[in-house]
Chains A and B, each alone.
Chain A
Amino acid sequence: MKTTRRTFIKQMGYVSIGFSLLGPVCLGKEGTYPNANIMEPEDPDHINAWLRVLEDGRVLILTGKMELGQGIRIAVAQVAAEELNTRLDLVDVNLAETGVTANEGYTAGSRSIESSAMSIRHAAAAAREKILKMASQKWDRPSSELILEDGMISGGDQKMSLYELLEGKQIEEDIGEPAEIFGKTKRKIVGQPVPRKDIPAMVRGELEYVQDLKFPDMVHARIIRPKSYTSKLGSLEESGLQDFPGFLKLVRLGSFVGVIAEEEYQAIKLSWEVQDRATWEAGEELPADVPLKDYLRTLPEETETEEDKGDWKNAFEKAPVKHSAAYYKPYLMHAANGPSCAVAYYNDDKLQVWTHSQGVYPLRETLANLLEIPEDAIHVKGVPGSGCYGHNGADDVAAEAALLAVEFPGRHVRLQWMRDEEHLWEPYGTAMVMELQAGLSKEGKIVGWKYDFWSDGHSSRPNGEPRTFLPARFLDRGHGVPGPGFKGGAVRNSMPYYTIDNLQTTSHIFRGPLRRSALRALGAFANVFAIESFMDELADKAGKDPVDFRIEHLDDERAITCLRKIKRNTTEVNLGEREGIGYAFARYKNSASYFAVAAHVYVNDEEIVRVKKMWGVIDSGETINPDGLKNQTEGGMIQAASWALREEVQFDKDHVTSRDWHLYPIFRFQEIPEVDVEVIDRVEEDPLGAGEAAQGPSAAAVVNAVFSATGKRVRDLPVNPVEKYLR
């Protein structure tokens, strides 16, 4: 197959979006390239794994990452255009797609710029060097006399397109180490706030989301949900269903029940009908009558010392001032604006899936195991959906659509979750409990630090194991429920970034009652919220300014610069009655972006905390697109403030009860603070992941501001629980 494909590309000289082996091809609005049968991606060490020269003069960039609203398409287009010295409109981007783009795992952990964009930068720089060398040999001119610009190469009176120069072939050579990176030396496009190309399409309603895909023969499906995570289907009277308008098929696989109809609203109505007819056996009860915070501490746990430096206990005992505090963060929801959606098509033993998953290859592998279909018979194409902020229902709905498509071959099956399915069945960000103790010296320095945190695992992404999919547990095939998940997510940012000689951090990992997976920043949200709240409490005990106190415990100049700037940006703020300002800082993962933040809050007459304004300073090393970085950071600040002030997943003994936007309220427009973000661009540094940097610090800054406004310390989130609004 490999040889055929290579020959094919050599002959045709372009790559396609389509996958015509598998029947009808989705060309959609973005799929305007000619078809070719690409079954596996090129070797990622080769230039053509990342970049293809098209006949019409454009360059197609292949990224293994997904557009999640973070603007990865414009960022990778910028780095490529810079290296190829070309106009941006000549650069197109193909998002993650099995068999086409490199396998870059998941689009997660704020790593798309660090990994994918840098691979593309190197591939494009290497391509430029190869192209110049080829032209130099062809025309027998030194490459210093040649110019590569906008897809044309010229020298003296000679000029030709890249496509002509390559004679329709692609550049298969190794990327190696390019001699010059224009992104560092010239920087004409990189570092500029280049507008995104997808926004004009969005405002016209022309951007195609996975939810908008349409195929001529497409049918619609809905799932009938059980009462709880563990309840089983009792009875289901099927007779007469076939008389309902549009009915095509009822799919029953154990306790997994879905219905397929010609039209979408018919499928919805049928799902209501089937739900009315179904009886469900009660499953295990959820611990609804104990406060969750207390309940979590009663669970069996795996305890591990994560860091142990000096003798914290001794230092703490001797300290003249001692302080301790406990914090709590509830389950939080990704709560995507658009419910999860996928289209699946099964025919001739082959499966095609269109998905907004963050990882097309891991999804493919896990689908293969779930459905017992060989991986090379599955094609998974990433199509942007609603922003996800981590691992939400995207993979689950893809698995469900695939299960249904296999039962109903020959037509495209579209499945979109309803709002209550998204709210009630997605894997949440886990609840956590955090306890801190520290001693202060006479001079107000931290002398002993002890941090204990209780958390579930943080990620149950598809990893080849079918049980990571929501439907697997209802199939009655013995797949079981997901394993302990990614513990590293819980530990993230549990080590303070401050210089403390004697410290110990200990993780306590439990299996909590609700389904959970990776939510933006993972454990770093709760860890930073706790640590930065506690730093504020310690500063108060030490009688110091909270920003100065932090700076006194830092030896990283970049961190200190962020804090100095945030202080300076907020010196003019006038605080009114019942208003306060709070600060926080963290370096995401202790190795990615630096972020300092301030929040200005007030407490209204109903004792409800509102945020007036937030300021952020972010240092992500080399900035590819400063406006994109700002946008991500502003969004992170607003989202984290919403998490901290308003959000909490609630449940009764059967299941989660936060089923819609009334029962799981998030910030609406009147609650939105003004936001102001300053970007520190460090050209000489490597770019650092940024998309999750704002989460933890923003929550802490809000809570610290509440203290500054009222003298009261909020240690349990959310600050304004739903009940407050009902009083």
Chain B
Amino acid sequence: MKTQITLNVNGQQHEVNVDPQTPLLYVLRNNLGLTGPKFGCGLSQCGACMVLFDGKANPSCLMPVEQASKMEITTLEGLADENGNLHKVQQAFIDEQAAQCGYCLNGLVIASVALLDENPNPTEEQIQESLYRNICRCGVHARVVRAVKKASTT
């Protein structure tokens, strides 16, 4: 049964009319057109779908949309400021060319933003540990760690 649900995404209120059990990821991508978050596994195993829930990075692929309505959600699209200036993590990924296909990038950027929020100066080991939920099949990990390190010092 479809229900009217209010979501707070990237600082804006959105009304959606969906099955309340629908995982948030599909609503973000298909109803709100926010395709930064990707479908990777639908099992909370790979991190491709991560968004910030009240500032914490977590997968959105299993979270029923009705539960998500209680939180402030930030997606990749919402990281840049009003003038379009990139978040320092985004900029560092560009500077380090930390991507091949880039399918994993959403989750990696989101998880790194949350990490630096909590720990502005992580060691390489802490960076690796905090990205353990994210899969990258192209093997850009070493660049990603460099990028996060760089962002932490800017």
Contact = CB atoms under 8 A, between A and B. Distances in A.
B129 A336 contact: no
B41 A387 contact: no
A200 B129 CA distance: 26
Contacts of A264: 26, 29-30
Given A206-B77, A339-B40, 7 more contacts: A263-B18, A264-B30, A335-B137, A337-B40, A634-B143, A635-B139, A642-B139
5 contacts: A205-B76, A263-B30, A339-B39, A385-B103, A667-B141
A70 to B, nearest CB: 7
B116 interface: no
B46 interface: yes
A205 B45 CA distance: 21
Nearest to B92: A203
Contacts of A68: 101
A669 interface: yes
Most buried by B among A205, A339, A666: A205
Interface of A: 68-71, 195-196, 198-200, 202-209, 211-212, 214, 245, 263-266, 335-339, 384-387, 389, 416, 418-419, 627, 631-632, 634-639, 642, 660-662, 666-670, 672-675
A674 B141 CA distance: 9
B26 A209 contact: no
Contact of A634 (B30, B43, B142): B142
A265 B40 contact: no
A196 B143 CA distance: 14
A214 B33 contact: yes
B103 A337 contact: yes
Contacts of A202: 93, 99, 102, 105
A419 B43 contact: yes
B102 A204 contact: no
Given A69-B102, A338-B40, A669-B131, A265 B19 contact: yes
A94 to B, nearest CB: 19
Given A202-B102, A631-B143, A639 B36 contact: no
B138 to A, nearest CB: 5
Nearest to A205: B36
Contact of B46 (A209, A266, A337, A670): A337
Nearest to A203: B90
B94 A203 contact: yes
Given A209-B103, A263-B30, A661 B43 contact: yes
B120 to A, nearest CB: 19
B40 A419 contact: yes
A337 B26 contact: no
A207 B94 CA distance: 14
Interface in B111-154: 127-129, 131-132, 134-145
B68 interface: no
A634 B45 contact: no
B2 to A, nearest CB: 8
A666 B135 contact: yes
Contacts of B41: 419, 660-661
Given A205-B75, A265-B26, A195 B135 contact: no
Most buried by A among B48, B109, B136: B136
Interface in B23-50: 23, 26, 29-30, 33-43, 45-46, 48
Given A338-B38, A338-B40, A639-B138, A204 B48 contact: no
Contact of B26 (A211, A263, A338, A673): A263
B22 A204 contact: no
Contacts of A263: 18, 22, 26, 30
Nearest to A641: B139
Contacts of B13: none
Contact of A211 (B38, B76, B104): B38
The 9 closest A-B pairs by CB, nearest first: A205-B36, A69-B101, A635-B139, A638-B139, A387-B101, A69-B100, A205-B76, A202-B102, A386-B103
Contacts of B94: 195, 199-200, 203
A310 to B, nearest CB: 40
Contacts of B22: 263, 265
B3 interface: no
B80 interface: yes
Most buried by B among A70, A200, A632, A668: A668
B97 interface: yes
A331 to B, nearest CB: 17
B71 interface: no
Contact of B137 (A200, A207, A336, A632): A336
Contacts of A204: 36, 76-77, 80, 86, 90
A245 B139 CA distance: 41
B128 to A, nearest CB: 4
B58 interface: no
Given A205-B76, A205-B106, A419-B42, A670 B128 contact: yes
